[in-house]
Amino acid sequence: MLENFEANGDTIKTEELRVAKAVDLVATIGKIPYVRLVECKRVDEQSEVVVLEVEVELPRIKVYDIRRDERIAVCFDPTDSEQPEVLAVRRDFPEVPHLNLRLFEFPRSLCLFEEPYEEIKLRWTPTFLLNRIREWLALTAKGQLHQDDQPLEPLLGNPDGNIVLPDELFQPDGTKIHASYIAHRYGERNTLIVKGLTAESINDEPNDKLSSVLVLEGEPQQHGVISKNPRSIPALSSLVDKAGIHLLKELRNRCAALANNKPYSTVLNSYLIIVLILPKKRRADRQSEDTDTWVFLCPHTILEIGEKIGVWEVRNGEPGILLEYDINRGGEELNIALFKPHRAFSQEYASVLNGLPEPFINTQISLVGTGALGSQICVNLTKCGIGKWALFDYDILLPHNFARHALPYNDFLVGSKKVKALEIFVNNDISFKPIVNTFDIDVVRSHNSEDEVQKSFENADVILDCSTSIAVARYLALDVKTNARMISAFLNPVGSDLVVLIEDKNRETPLDLLEMQYYRHLINQPEYSNHLRRPNERVRYAIGCRDITSRIPQNSVAIHAGIGSRVFQNSLDNPDSKIGIWQINEQDLSVSCDLFPAPVLIAENVGEWKIRTDEALINKLLGERNEKLPSETGGVLVGSFDTSRKIVYMIDSLSSPPDSIEWPNLYIRGFKGLSEKLQIIQQITMNNLEYVGEWHSHPKGSDSRPSSTDWQASEMLSGIMNQDMLPSLMVIVGDKHELSFVLCEEDKVIVKTIFC
């Protein structure tokens, strides 16, 4: 028997690869000693697979059977719209935490990242991926991939939809459902909204469907080791058998009991909902510490189910119970769908979620993101009579949203599209109708291919971004063709601060540069060292890995929404760009404002890369050169890479370390304290600023053209940066406000000189 699964597709040569990320990965493998290329394949003439072997750093005692050399297949989507899937192709690769759930259990798919791919893509490099694979394998071998202070992983995942369960269905302990029958209706995106009742009290409402409820509770299971969702009654039976649940026996007994209820038309024509309650434990040798509740819908009537599992024969539409169950009938034809349960919004749930923590009538406003802050700003502004609106959002409303959303809780809003619900609310609640259109789309994924979407952005006077997504803000600033002024508003993670980034009317300082200037302000002002800290406690509103919301109080969101609304209103009369941070004092509830102007963008194309900086940084470099004359000086450049768009943001610099050599005709940068400073910058900005290059000055009377020493330094720097598929950047400052950008990518060196 072969040790490894064979990767799908036809074997191809490395030079035949066409997917850009696959090409980059293969190029990087040749430069890294702990990775070896095995083969490349192409599937369906489009997708490409790179098979490699990774050398894993293993502990002396392993918790899981990870080998020294693990064979891995990385599968690339040619459109780059989905995250590359990473498969462990060893046939006996163990069941471990943090595996992706797939239709097929093998080969096992490694869950490497929690963030959406749109966010990962901004900093994706081949080295980044390979290091994460190696780290994942090493930590899994030690049993440390899932830390003891992390919440337990869900036992199942990738549900077919959501199901919203009202509080009255639960017993006081919050786990066991005590209703025998429930009625449900469908919301958007396969969301079931449930109400509890008995079979006798069912109303003949056209949108309601009746289901019989079977509640099963199993023995504690280790979290994160189930790698395949059940899709049929036999598959579910095999899964729950591990938890001591005899599903077919329970089903047969339940069907037999239901057959005694008359009239048959109500009970036996109902569907089946199975509620599975599974206690979870962190490790096999530990006690249970949490509970998963999953719901399965079987889209067959009880009459059909009883026949398929050998309880009765059907004659003239009525069941004839067999003297003995036909155990050869295992319900193979009975399909099931997995639903993720959500607790319906209630007064109690709202209290948990809030935990003491959201004149220009004809102005065309496009609002991206109709969540807590966006919806309240929209409602505030429309109540002021401002704007004709286009709303963009792809989310649906689930119970936890209502704790901080502008919309009031209503059963019929659960499961509906946010943009449509907000449109109806505003139009019904306000005497005039400021809404022009709504777009139920993810703006990054849609690429604005629809004419109507393009027209909305083109005709907008202002685009207001409340998405809280860097990927969305970057997309609006750089990829949307429009003259509309852009404004971005968001809260910091704990909800104490509101940040508003405002472009000037002519967009000379665009939104992406404002984002960088905001980070620069954080690292240069000591009072903002904890501005982007994560909250100590968050609320899990469902049982998925990412189903976590914050405990930001509604009154804080409301205060910030009021400020944000007024700032937006004032900006309509003011053409200048600016950045503002408003902070709530937790002691006396006073609000402080830090408002500062944004320097103008300086943008240069250097080869295939774009360098985006501003006058403030250039003036800083010129000033430091003048202060150190007649000696040369220099330092480190701080900023960010957008690898998907080939942009280098150069936003700040760290001055020459104290152990540097600064002579009139020589500069050698030191190292003392530099690493610590860069680490602090990354912590303050949540890794949004990092090292991007070097700068140094030339002596008086010299221009900024690179010297022979500079070429040697650039070559050394490129050898380091190019390993990570990033360009090396060196800035040289000379006389007469002359600067040269020296950028090296692979074997290409480009020098661009400007005068400031």
**Residue 203's pLDDT band (boundaries 50, 70, 90)?**
low
Lowest average pLDDT, out of 12-26, 401-415, 596-610, 652-666, goes to 401-415
**CATH code at 655?**
3.40.140.10
370 plus 494 within the same structural domain: yes
DSSP for 342-386, written as a single string: EEPP-HHHHHHHHS-----TT-EEEEE--SHHHHHHHHHHHHTT-
Domain membership of residue 128 (yes or no) is yes
| Lowest mean per-residue pLDDT among 242-246, 415-419, 488-492, 702-706 | 242-246
Specify whether the backbone of 383 is left (phi greater than 0), alpha (psi in -120 to 50) or beta.
alpha
Q: Which of 559, 579, 597 is the last residue of a domain?
A: 597
377 neighbors 396 (Cβ within 8 angstroms):
no
The span from the CA of 294 to the CA of 300, in Å, is: 19
Residues 213 and 247 in one domain: yes
Is the bond leading into 630 cis (omega within 30 degrees of zero)?
yes
Q: What pLDDT was estimated at residue 358?
A: 38
Beta bridge partners of 604: 611
Secondary structure E strands in 492-646: 497-502, 539-540, 548-549, 578-584, 591-597, 601-606, 609-614, 634-642
Same domain, 30 and 113: yes
Name the pLDDT band for 541 (thresholds 50, 70, 90).
very low
Residue 667: name the closest of 606, 730, 620 by CA.
Answer: 730
Q: State the pairing for strand pair 47-55/35-43.
A: antiparallel
The answer to which of 5-14, 475-484, 634-643 has the lowest mean pLDDT is: 5-14
The predicted-structure confidence for 389-399, as pLDDT tens digits, reads as follows 899 998 988 88
Q: For residue 474, which of 445, 503, 501, 513 has the smallest C-alpha distance?
A: 513
**Has residue 432 got a pLDDT over 70?**
no
Task: Identify whether residues 593 and 606 lie together within a single domain.
Answer: no
- So what's the pLDDT on residue 97? 76
pTM: 0.74
Residue 550: give its domain's CATH number: 3.40.50.720
Count of structural domains within the chain? 4
Same domain flag for 463 and 523: yes
Token pair 């004709």 in the structure block, residue: 388
- Domain range for residue 404? 354-597
Residue 447: pLDDT band with limits 50, 70, 90: low
| Interhelix angle 372-383/554-571, nearest 10 degrees | 50
Q: How far apart are CA 208 and CA 240, in angstroms?
A: 30
Same domain, 591 and 658: no
E strands, 221-298, in order = 221-222, 271-281, 288-298
Same domain for 196 and 320, yes or no, is yes
In tens, the pLDDT along 339-352 reads 888 877 664 564 45
Which pair of structure tokens corresponds to residue 264? 């048959």
d(CA 637, CA 620): 12
Question: Over 50: is that where the pLDDT of 354 sits?
Answer: no
**Would you say residue 600 has pLDDT above 60?**
yes
Q: Which of 329, 180, 305, 204 is nearest to 251 (CA)?
A: 305
Pairing of strands 161-165, 191-197: parallel
**Percentage of the chain with pLDDT > 90?**
43
Specify whether 578 is located in the same domain as 447: yes
Residues 605 and 593 in one domain: no
Pick from 582, 597, 612: which residue ends a domain?
597
Confidence of residue 268 (pLDDT cuts 50, 70, 90): confident
**Inside any domain, residue 178:** yes
- 173 is a domain residue: yes
In a domain, 2, yes or no: no
For residue 710, being part of any structural domain is answered with: yes
Among 597, 626, 650, which residue terminates a domain? Answer: 597
More confident residue, 2 or 629: 629
- Residue 150 in any domain: the answer is no
Q: Please say if the pLDDT value at position 228 is more than 80.
A: no
Is the per-residue pLDDT at 570 higher than 60? yes
601 pLDDT band, cuts 50/70/90, is very high
Residue 378 shares a structural domain with residue 239: no
Distance CA 474, CA 511 (A): 8
Q: Look at residue 517 in the predicted model and tell me its pLDDT.
A: 96
Whether pLDDT at 202 is above 60: no
- The answer on pLDDT for 356 being more than 50 is no
695 in the same domain as 720: yes
pLDDT at 678: 95
pLDDT tens string 118-156: 889 999 999 999 999 999 999 989 887 755 555 556 567
Amino acid making up residue 405: H
* 307-324: average pLDDT: 85
Q: What are 414-428's pLDDT values in tens digits?
A: 889 998 999 888 776
Contacts within 8 Å (CB) and 24+ apart, 520-524: 520/616, 520/651, 520/652, 520/689, 521/579, 521/581, 521/594, 521/596, 522/684, 522/685, 523/638, 523/652, 523/680, 523/681, 523/684, 523/685, 523/689, 524/652
Q: Six-digit token pair at 400? A: 């936890």
In a domain? residue 135: yes
Based on the domain organization, do 324 and 179 belong to the same domain?
Answer: yes
Kindly report, residue by residue over 621-630, the tens digit of the pLDDT. Answer: 999 999 999 9
Nearest by Cα to 665 from 696, 644, 638, 641: 696
476 assigned to some structural domain: yes
Q: Give dist(CA 727, CA 692) in Å, integer.
A: 9
Instruction: Identify the DSSP state of 244.
Output: T
CA dihedral 399, 403, 408, 414 (to 10 degrees): -10
